Structure 1
Amino acid sequence: MRIFNYAWVCIVALLISSCNKKEEKMNFEVFETSASGNSLTKITEFKASDSLVNITLKPEETLQTISGFGGAFTESSAYLLNKLSKKNRDTILKAYFAKDGARYSLTRTHMNSCDFSLSNYSYTPVEGDKNLEHFTIEEDKDDLIPMIKDALAVSEDGFNIFASPWTAAPWMKDNNKWVGGKLLPEYYDTWALFFSKYIEAYKSEGIDIWGFTVENEPHGNGNNWESMHFSPKEMTDFVEFHLGPKLEADGYGDKIILGYDQNREGLKEWVDEMYRDEASSKYFDGTAIHWYESTYDYFPEALQYAHNKAPDKYLIETEGCIDSQVPVWKDDAWYWKKEATDWGYDWREPEKKYLHPKYAPVNRYARDIIGCLNNWVDGWVDWNMVLDRQGGPNWFENWCVAPVIVDPDNDEVYFTPLYYTMAHFSKYIRPSAKVIMHNNSDESLMATAAKNPDGSIVVVLFNETETPKTINLSLHENTLDFAIDAKAIQTIVIPN
């Protein structure tokens, strides 16, 4: 009898142990940002709804490798940080880069001035200086470089920085102006040297540059602020015969070169030229894209085409923001309502105006990032990290919205819902994560999923509808049951 009892106890103990192990595998955390008031809030209690969504994860079917998420260092953002108290300045930098913040991992900055600068300036102020003997980044040393260095000090994981020029100095261009025009052929080698000089100058400041986009918005920007035009062939020739060889010769052949760097319409024409043959493809490491073509369409067909043209290259969204819009101050509800307008709402040609209806800013961010991740994009970079209540400073008065808005006169900071929307991705999906396949039974609920290098799996959901949804999520033999609120974005973290 004692033997029987002992055996029975052992069987029960094994069953309990087995159950505990299974329960351990099913641990998960849910973080939600919603129109109802959550801001990356950890959710532990869920209300069931009549709308059931079944999601099945397939971690063994991997897609692209994530390069990162983040925002841009601009002179405007850096200038504003320097006008705040040290406490608020540090709060913002930690919110973006610290381990308990958004953990930005991929960032951008501008070479020479851009519209989000205080004025027009160039690192090459001396006309005719073909050898760039007077090259200087002195203009960046008051605001921009200190912001980058302080962000690097805050970040435990570090982050990559790529730089983008809006224009060469006017003396290198055929129209001798900051706006519009083309780079004169006689300065192609000088302009390639400019990139090499920039790497050296920033390295001397303790900042390592990961790579470049060749030109911000090579189609121009309506000739409103700093710009320089390239056709696909002109940019490809510049990279193949000048920039790529120059960086290689100077020992910077490992620096990333991203071509294009504008909206997704016309993407086919650009990648066809960039990757026209082995010689041109050698120097392009990937393609950069923006989102301003539409407030709701993320152009999956164009993204698929770009990936298929160069499946082993980067495909990175390098700029997106709520454009041509003055920020709304301390009113979270506005960011969830379809009240924002952009440049296309007023100025787009009639046959394409349908791409620019009124929209909700959170929806635009969440929809585009998830849509990009589900169509081979491996990195997503926001525009300005910090702007003021006017949506600047911007020398052209091209007002925009940033995730963090400040009032420097009163030393106030407002973390908009856009900050939390970005953090749903950047904080939890880490560099070198692999996007994984999934099945989703509800087309009205957007979903994407990735497996991190540490083995954890992250799922991001976006419920744009007015209806809460119950989620049944399957991973191998495990099932997780939870719910997402109406008008909400949610990150689910399943530890390894």
Structure 2
Amino acid sequence: MRYEIHNILIICFLTTFISCNNDEKEPMNIDVFETSASGNKLTLLSEFEKAESTVEIVLNPEAQFQKITGFGGSFTEATAYLLNKLSEEKRNEVLEAYFGESGAKYSLTRTHINSCDFSLSNYSYAPIADDMELDSFSIAQDKDDIIPIIKAAQKKSKEGFKIISSPWTAPPWMKDNNSWVGGKLLPKYNDTWALFFSKYISAYANEGINIWGITVENEPLGNGNNWESMHFTPHEMTDFVQNHLGPTLEQNSQSNIKILGYDQNREHLKEWVDAMYSDSIKSNYFDGTAIHWYASTFEVFPDELQYAHQKAPNKHLIQTEACVDAEVPKWKDDAWYWSKEATDWGWDWAPESEKKMHPKYVPVYRYARDIIGCLNNWVDGWVDWNMVLNKQGGPNWFKNWCVAPVLADPENDEVYYTPLYYTMSHFSRFIRPDAVRIGLNLSTDELLATAVHNPDGTIALVVLNQENQPRNMKIKLKGLERDLTISAKALQTIIISPKIE
């Protein structure tokens, strides 16, 4: 199946549209890409319908905020396994769609250390108990699917991409409950577990895959008695990093590896960054904080994000996992992804006091509004969960079904690019690493927007319209002005290119 983003290659990347609304204004060179409930899929627009009301968006490049690390998704065993079940042609198509120049150009990704819920089974790279020096350590499990798919993606990516690796748990024999689920790391294995990270980084480097960063523990607060997990308090994690993990990586010439703390939902950010960054000694080995979005289906938690940034303004703040969870995905049904039918784990299971944080939501809006909200509150990277899942929302040993932007049916060698794929592309394709978020004034709260100044000189403005009617937009930038329209229920990325003298 040819997906619409290929059409972008047919058209020159920057087409010039001259504003004729005001002869006194300088011309503004723009491209407008739209994804909408009406059927646009990252479509390059040349004509715009008029709406009744106008929103003014004033861009201010002099006001500069965080530098962008990247956007992308995760190489889980489930994703890699499914891609390897597809024909070579289909597999290459999906990898091009995510990493190629004609695709989403993912720049920041994640994978798991040992197994996770989106693995085919429980496994550890060091299964032999009390192997203190980890002589039995081996990443052989990853050589069937994960490593070949990462390497194939590397070949597709012109600019390359960063990888964050996260453990869901240490091997059960290192834990106080000798279980895959829950429990804590026994203190006598602190150095052994730190060595485990170092060996993993070296083993992947030997495969030609350089790990950019690690999180200390996926969801250290736990996930109930469900899939792989291991518990840390903020102070326990800080102590482990300060006295074991950081020094071990430093001793093994791996101090270039970014260490991200926490790695769970945003509503607890304050207590974690207070511990991680309580003084210069404790914060020395931390390069940033990782967060997830599962505390709410619509609340960005701006106060917590602002607090985390102010606590450590020179550290990363990266969203490392998000997905439409607790849902079986809809196959080739674009309308569902634009409808208010999706729910999450909290719809059924959240305590009554938290039910209001888990309403039904439109999947496209959830992604777009969260990314925009995160960017506008100092987050510098945003990583989706599984890149590819099957029609059931797996495979997953725990049967923890979820939705992915791309769905695959290996039996029929078919692939479905959901509207979430195009939503992610609006950010990942057009907001490049080292872009800097810039100032933006919006005359209404009925639209959501964010803007960056890219390294190539272009400005990328992303606008979300959740309303049932189109809106006129007057874009202003340093004496330049352009009138546009965004469709009803639509996401637009507007690329403004520098004026050529």
Measured against the shorter chain, the TM-score band is over 0.9
Partner of 1:12: none
Q: What is the CA-CA distance between 1:25 and the residue it aligns to?
A: 5.2
Which of 276, 282, 285 in structure 1 is aligned with 2:284? 282
Q: Which runs of 4+ in 1 moved over 2 A?
A: 21-25
Partner of 2:79: 77
Rounded Cα–Cα distance in structure 2 between residues aligned with 1:202 and 1:178? 23
Rounded Cα–Cα distance in structure 2 between residues aligned with 1:333 and 1:463? 16
Which of 180, 183, 194 in structure 2 is aligned with 1:181? 183
Query: What amino acid is the match of 2:450?
Result: T
Local SS of the residue matching 2:266: coil
Which of 466, 469, 472 in structure 2 is aligned with 1:467? 469
Rounded Cα–Cα distance in structure 1 between residues aligned with 2:456 and 2:90? 33
Query: What amino acid is the match of 1:301?
Result: D
Indicate the RMSD between aligned Cα atoms, in angstroms.
1.1
Partner of 1:378: 380
Local SS of the residue matching 1:64: strand
Partner of 2:336: 334
Query: Following superposition of structure 1 onto structure 2, how do residues 305-324 of structure 1 map, counting pairs within 5 Å?
Result: 305-324=307-326
The count of corresponding residues between Structure 1 and Structure 2 is 476
Partner of 1:292: 294
Summarize deviations over 1:313-358 as a string: whole Å, max 9, x none: 0000000000000000001000010100110000000011100011
Which of 37, 40, 43 in structure 1 is aligned with 2:42? 40
Summarize deviations over 1:229-286 as a string: whole Å, max 9, x none: 0000000000000000110111011110000000001110000000011111110000
Which of 221, 224, 227 in structure 2 is aligned with 1:225? 227
Q: Against the structure 1 CA distance between its residues 464 and 413, is the aligned structure 2 distance closer, same or farther, given a 3 Å change threshold? A: same
Partner of 2:244: 242
Query: What amino acid is the match of 1:350?
Result: E
Partner of 1:16: none
Query: Following superposition of structure 1 onto structure 2, how do residues 328-367 of structure 1 map, counting pairs within 5 Å?
Result: 328-367=330-369
> What TM-score do you get using the length of structure 1 for normalisation?
0.95
Q: What is the CA-CA distance between 1:23 and the residue it aligns to?
A: 8.5
Q: What is the CA-CA distance between 1:170 and the residue it aligns to?
A: 0.4
1:393 lines up with 2:395 in the alignment: yes
> What TM-score do you get using the length of structure 2 for normalisation?
0.94
Summarize deviations over 1:351-403 as a string: whole Å, max 9, x none: 11100011110010001000000000000000000000000000000000000
Runs (5+) with no aligned partner, structure 1:
1-20
Which of 259, 262, 287 in structure 2 is aligned with 1:260? 262
Rounded Cα–Cα distance in structure 2 between residues aligned with 1:244 and 1:51? 55
Partner of 1:56: 58
Partner of 1:488: 490
Runs (5+) with no aligned partner, structure 2:
1-22
Q: What is the CA-CA distance between 1:50 and the residue it aligns to?
A: 0.8
Rounded Cα–Cα distance in structure 2 between residues aligned with 1:261 and 1:128? 28
Rounded Cα–Cα distance in structure 2 between residues aligned with 1:24 and 1:83? 53
Q: What is the CA-CA distance between 1:22 and the residue it aligns to?
A: 9.7
Rounded Cα–Cα distance in structure 1 between residues aligned with 2:137 and 2:298? 42
Summarize deviations over 1:152-204 as a string: whole Å, max 9, x none: 01000000001000000000000000000000000000000011001110011
Q: What is the CA-CA distance between 1:99 and the residue it aligns to?
A: 1.0
Rounded Cα–Cα distance in structure 1 between residues aligned with 2:87 and 2:143? 19
Q: What is the CA-CA distance between 1:223 and the residue it aligns to?
A: 2.3
Rounded Cα–Cα distance in structure 1 between residues aligned with 2:416 and 2:150? 21
Q: What is the CA-CA distance between 1:24 and the residue it aligns to?
A: 8.1
Which of 67, 92, 95 in structure 1 is aligned with 2:94? 92
Identity of paired residues, percent? 65
Structure having the higher Rg: 1
Q: What is the CA-CA distance between 1:101 and the residue it aligns to?
A: 0.4
Local SS of the residue matching 1:322: coil
Rounded Cα–Cα distance in structure 2 between residues aligned with 1:444 and 1:359? 17
